[in-house]
Amino acid sequence: MCEVALEKQLTPLSLIPYPQAVERLSGFFIWKRSLKIFPGEFGNEVALFLAGLTVEIRASMVDSEALTQIKIKIDRELAQEAYQLRILCEEITIRAHNETGVFYALQTLRQLIMSGYQVGSTQIEIQAVNIMDAPRFAWRGFMLDEARHFQGMQTVKDLLDWMAYFKMNVFHWHLTEDQGWRIEIKQYPRLIEVGSSRPANQVSGFLGKQLNANPHSGFYTQAEIKEIVSYAAARQIQIVPEIEMPGHAQAALAAYPELGCTGGPYQVSPRWGIHSDIMCPGKANTTTFLQNVLTEVLDLFPGKFIHTGGDEAPKTRWKTCPDCQKLASESGIARINDLQTILTNHISQFLQANGRMLIGWNEMLAEGLDPKAVVQYWVGRKKKLLQHIRSGRKAILSNFAAYYLDHGYAHSPLDKVYQYEPVFEKLEPEYHHNILGIETPLWTEFVPNRARLDWQVFPRLLAVAETAWLDPRKKDLASFHQRLPAFLKQLDVKNVGYSKLMDSNPPFHKRIFGALTLLQAGKGERSATLCDSHSTPSQPDRWQPDQQ
């Protein structure tokens, strides 16, 4: 029998991101271990859902829909990622267009179950409700830089699990840099033999020169890459690899110095920041190298997009390089900088010939850039960006001021991240369809271990996840704060060392000079300890340097 519900409090359901439409119904569904679910064609989605529940309340799959309390139906009238979750007193029904919508409906159901779970619980009351839901943006991304600090497969899988739980669907994997090359390329073994290790690490701020004597290394074999790609795909996450070109490439140059303008010697850099030595577009073997590398990358990553960086590439060496000067003359360009557009277009066309699309940071924007190249915006040049978007170029928004998770909480507190509206106010509504979505990057110059990573990412990742999914007119900061504690408890269970709420929203006097912390060692924060995965870095006085 259906229990008669008392007048429900006006508190929001414990869901992040919050659904687009929630209709509360009378009564409760009792979730318990004895429940049966017939997965039909959605065995993978249901198996992952059940695996995410504790044993005491883990229902079981059966081979027939008869006598089951959880029904899954296909509804082609719904949009690709949309779903309906209808919870009545006696049964639960999921409707979705395809497996993606089914997966997201099951994540919503799992959140409702786990928010009511207490250790030892064998039954959980779930509010009867009808949810109609679909995402705001198609691109709901998180970027991990493993070139500065290698984190390893388990950390990546754990991040993918949390991304899936919060309905994020793009993992941008930054794998090559001045400071390290992290992906095995069989045709070029020295990329790993030489490029995956550096002799030391910069420990001073971005303007400093202090190094420690600790070498750093790490890379993924192609077999490991395939395993992670498969793991992500099962969770409806596309992995977008980033292979930097022409800048941020000293690890590649150290392995193959003939790719640079001067011929080296080069070093896998122990220092952060921007480096003058970049790939030489005037040498024919540079293009050959890049195409050969990307050919292996394409075999590993089946997704539609490949990121090629393109940011922070000083043209100092190009201006005095005979090969670059010759290419510029043959191409009829007056500005040596335009060689980057020639290189980008060549790689873009190569990717299109292989059924893929190029993404690059917004420094690549220039007259003559391939119109099919997707731009990822992070800082500056907003007027030029808007011109390109109005002309039809697709864009991903990762505003440096709000969405860079490597920034300390003094600069980017949780509430600021949640309240930030990523779509430019000056962009007319008729061009909004050119915004693919948003992405929040974590650069790891000052993220040497898992404890520090957890502290930088959580709970701000949840704020970005809600912005990526929920209609901005329905976002509500007070509601977000009401819902957040239930998820912090779940992070506790998994030993995720998130920033406590009192630290993630520091008082005004600690935020007033937040921008200055970006230049400090550790970006103004002390390092988390390695010994305790749940330990968090203390909040220092703003001017106190990192003690590593």
Task: Give domain limits for the chain.
Answer: 21-133, 139-474+490-524
pLDDT tens for 227-280 read: 999 999 999 999 999 999 999 999 999 999 999 999 999 999 999 999 999 999
Note the pLDDT tens digit of each residue in 174-200. 999 999 999 999 999 999 999 999 999
Distance between CA atoms of 84 and 247, rounded to whole angstroms? Answer: 46
In angstroms, the Cα distances linking 442 to 119, 227, 321, 542 are 33, 22, 34, 21
Q: Is the dihedral of CA 265, 271, 277, 278 positive or negative?
A: positive
Note the pLDDT of residue 174.
98
CA distance 405 to 299: 30
Residue with tokens 């039954």: 123
Q: Which residues contact 362 (CB under 8 A, 6 or more apart)?
A: 311, 375, 376, 377, 378, 379, 380, 381, 384, 385
Which pLDDT score is estimated for 521?
A: 67
The model's pLDDT over 321-355, given as tens digits with 9 standing for 90+, comes to 999 999 999 999 989 999 999 999 999 999 999 99
Q: What is the pLDDT of residues 18-72, one digit of tens each?
A: 999 999 999 999 999 999 999 999 999 999 999 999 999 999 999 998 889 999 9
Cβ neighbourhood burial of 409 (10 Å; 0-12, 13-18, 19+): buried
Q: What is the 3-state secondary structure (H, E, C) of 208-224?
A: CCCECCCCEECCECHHH
Burial 289-318 (b: 16+ CB within 10 A, else e): bbeebbebbbebbebebbbbbbbebebebb
139-474+490-524 CATH? 3.20.20.80
From residue 539, alpha-carbon distances to 455, 458, 461, 500, 524 in Å are 11, 15, 20, 10, 9
Name the DSSP letter for residue 77. Answer: T
Overall average pLDDT of the 276-301 stretch: 98
Stretch 145-169: mean pLDDT: 98
Burial string for 219-248 (b: 16+ CB within 10 Å, else e) reads bbeeeebeebbebbeebbbbbbbbbbbbbb
The separation between the first and the last C-alpha atoms of the chain, rounded to the nearest angstrom, is 61
Taking alpha carbons only, the member of 294, 299, 433, 304 closest to residue 357 is 304
Kindly report the length of the chain. Answer: 548
Contact yes or no for 408/455 (Cβ under 8 A): no
Output the six-digit token pair for 430: 């008729």
Residue 75 to residue 55: CA distance in whole angstroms? 31
CB count within 10 Å of CB 60 equals 10
> Using the 8-state DSSP alphabet, how is residue 276 labeled?
S
Q: Please name every residue paired with 165 in a beta bridge, in sequence order, or none if there are none.
A: none
Q: Encode pLDDT of 377-436 as tens digits.
A: 999 989 999 999 999 999 999 999 999 999 999 999 999 999 999 999 999 999 999 999
Task: Identify the pLDDT of residue 165.
Answer: 98
Give CATH for domain 21-133.
Answer: 3.30.379.10
Q: Which residues pair with 461 in a beta bridge?
A: none
